[in-house]
């Protein structure tokens, strides 16, 4: 069985981002980039399913410019079998990304597509659900546990009030939550080996997809700054402030 994992290159989660002075976006020049943390969890889950002999092949796909090859090589070093880069220099919105992934899914015919529940840059939390809709597949979002059977998956989802377990028939799409697993590190020998693993580069134009723009980004601003307050020296002083100054008690 084949698993397709979609990964995205994003600004490293520990970097403090800076909004560009012209409000056109966020500074990405000379900033440390990394694989989206939720996608690392998706790769890890796919590898574990292969190690259990449930899956036979793990294919990773990314959409972006050439620098995304680095993210794919990282996935290969972790253990993915091969990689596909759909090369595009444009910034694409979730719906168009879902359409590109649909095309790749139709060619690759995986039984399972694993994706992070959200990318930590756009925070949209949309693409897996959109891809599921376009393919007409069932979706199991925000997964914190996946049990794979022959023809279906039992997935425990993190919902607001606790947990919910559903069963989805294959082929299906699962989006990962942070607690699904603890991703492994790539060892140096595996990083070396990954350089020889197949990485296919496809031009977005060659997919001949009719993509159109649905959203125009007008500006990206820094949020209102919240200024630090005061430090108080005792519990009594704190309660006094909360009661008489802030009036919240």
Choice between 53 and 234, CB closer to other proteins:
234
Q: Which two tokens stand for residue 159?
A: 């919902």
Does residue 139 interact with other proteins by CB under 8 A? yes
Q: Are 115 and 6 in contact (CB under 8 A)?
A: yes
Nearer to other proteins, 4 or 131 (CB): 131
Contacts to other proteins from residues 65-124, by CB under 8 A? 93-95, 98, 117-118, 120-124
Pull the structure tokens for residue 41.
Answer: 């969890």
Between CA 150 and CA 192 the distance in angstroms is 34
The residue among 1 and 191 lying less far from other proteins, judged by its C-beta, is: 1
Binding mask 159-178 for other proteins (x = CB under 8 A): xxxxxxxxxxx--x----xx
Sign of CA dihedral 201, 204, 208, 214: positive
**Residue 216 CA from chain centroid, whole number:** 22
Q: Which stretch binds other proteins (CB under 8 A): 46-54, 132-140, 189-197, 201-209?
A: 132-140
Residue number, 15 or 186, with CB nearest to other proteins? 15
Beta carbons within 10 angstroms of residue 64's beta carbon: 22
- How many residues bind other proteins (CB under 8 A)? The answer is 78
């Amino acid at each position: 069985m084949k698993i397709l994992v979609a990964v995205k290159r994003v600004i490293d989660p520990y970097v403090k981002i800076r909004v560009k002075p012209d409000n056109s976006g966020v500074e990405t020049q000379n900033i440390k980039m990394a694989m989206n943390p939720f996608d690392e969890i998706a790769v890890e889950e796919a590898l574990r399913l292969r190690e259990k002999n449930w899956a036979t092949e793990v294919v990773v796909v990314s959409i972006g410019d050439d620098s995304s090859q680095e993210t794919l090589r990282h996935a290969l070093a972790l253990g993915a079998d091969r990689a596909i880069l759909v090369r595009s220099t444009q910034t694409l919105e979730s719906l168009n990304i879902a359409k590109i992934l649909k095309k790749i899914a139709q060619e690759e015919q995986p039984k399972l597509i694993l994706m992070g529940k959200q990318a930590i840059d756009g925070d949209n939390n949309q693409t897996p659900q959109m891809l599921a809709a376009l393919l007409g597949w069932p979706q199991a979002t925000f997964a914190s546990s996946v049990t794979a059977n022959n023809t279906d998956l039992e997935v425990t989802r993190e919902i607001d009030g606790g947990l919910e377990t559903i069963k989805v028939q294959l082929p299906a799409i699962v989006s990962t939550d942070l607690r699904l697993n603890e991703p492994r590190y790539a060892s140096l020998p595996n990083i070396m080996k990954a350089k020889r693993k197949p990485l296919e580069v496809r031009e977005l134009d060659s997919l001949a997809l009719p993509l159109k723009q649905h959203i125009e980004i007008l500006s990206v601003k820094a949020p209102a700054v919240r200024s630090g307050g005061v430090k108080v020296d005792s519990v009594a002083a704190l309660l006094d402030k909360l009661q008489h100054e802030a009036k919240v008690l």
